Structure 1
Amino acid sequence: MTTEYTVLLHGNEATWVAMDDERAATIDRQHEDFTAACAERGHRITFGRELRRASTSTLVRLPAGETRHVVTEGPYSETVEQLGGFYVIETEDPADLVELVAGLVFPGDGTVELRPAVRDEDRVASA
């Protein structure tokens, strides 16, 4: 059965900002290789994007007990790791996909999160 996963790429923004052109080009090649490997191994990338820095985000919250939302500038949390990009991938082999995304982890300060999407049939079954 095919499942859709969102692959979330977390890392230290200070590392990204300080990165030289050579390292950035190496990372671009890693993503190109990842895309090609996904296609070769039957994983279908349906969407993906690099995201701008967390400081450019806009946050919308509805505090408990309030009736009006609050808008603030990002980031959401004061952490070193921030969301830097994502892919949406359909696969029948999540274990193999884990092996592929391991090549996208920044050594020492990165994390790749795979999160399955809720399918329509899951929603109907739990109702």
Structure 2
Amino acid sequence: MSDYVVLFPADDEAAWAAGTDADHQRTHDTDAEFAARLKAIGGAITGGAGLAPSSTARTLRRTESGAMVTDGPYAETVEQVSGFYLVTCDSYDDLVGAAQVLTQAHPVVEIRPVDNG
């Protein structure tokens, strides 16, 4: 089994906040469908979380005199990382196939192998 992170880097926080309970349920249902598809190929979600709004972030940047801390996200944009899953799966290609369902609820899904080295 290999480890991967599934990121949601382009979710619109304002659209989520303005969404109805039914809108939110459709996203949760899509995520549950991904979990079922992952299980069907022998994989599993091993962790993950939704993230608080990007307005609550603090960003640290390296400077010559140390770290500079600023309020807010790294990127000033409407789209922000809204959450992630940690998953295990035997096949990267099978994981990508199972994750395609997530694009029904998230405009962009990024999958990266975890560097366990």
2:113 to 111, 116, 120: 116
* AA aligned opposite 1:69: A
- Residue 46 of structure 1 aligns with which residue? 46
Aligned residues: 116
Q: How does 1:14-29 map to 2 (within 5 A)?
A: 14-29=14-29
8 Å CA contact 1:12, 1:110 repeated in 2? no
Measure the CA separation in 2 of the matches of 1:52 and 1:102: 24
Identity %, equivalent residues = 34
- Residue 125 of structure 1 aligns with which residue? none
What is the deviation of 1:89? 0.9
Q: How does 1:30-69 map to 2 (within 5 A)?
A: 30-63=30-63, 66-69=64-67
Measure the CA separation in 2 of the matches of 1:21 and 1:37: 24
Measure the CA separation in 1 of the matches of 2:82 and 2:21: 17
What is the deviation of 1:106? 5.0
The runs of at least 4 consecutive aligned structure 1 residues that moved more than 2 Å come to none
Highest CA radius of gyration, 1 or 2? Answer: 1
Q: What do residues 1-44 of structure 1 show as CA deviations (whole Å, max 9, x unaligned)?
A: x3211100121222212111111011111112211221122112
TM-score in terms of structure 2 length:
0.88
Q: What do residues 50-73 of structure 1 show as CA deviations (whole Å, max 9, x unaligned)?
A: 11111111111112xx22211111
What is the deviation of 1:86? 0.3
* AA aligned opposite 1:27: T
Uncovered stretches (5+) of structure 1, i.e. residues with no partner: 121-127
Q: How does 1:70-89 map to 2 (within 5 A)?
A: 70-89=68-87
- Residue 6 of structure 1 aligns with which residue? 5
TM-score in terms of structure 1 length:
0.82
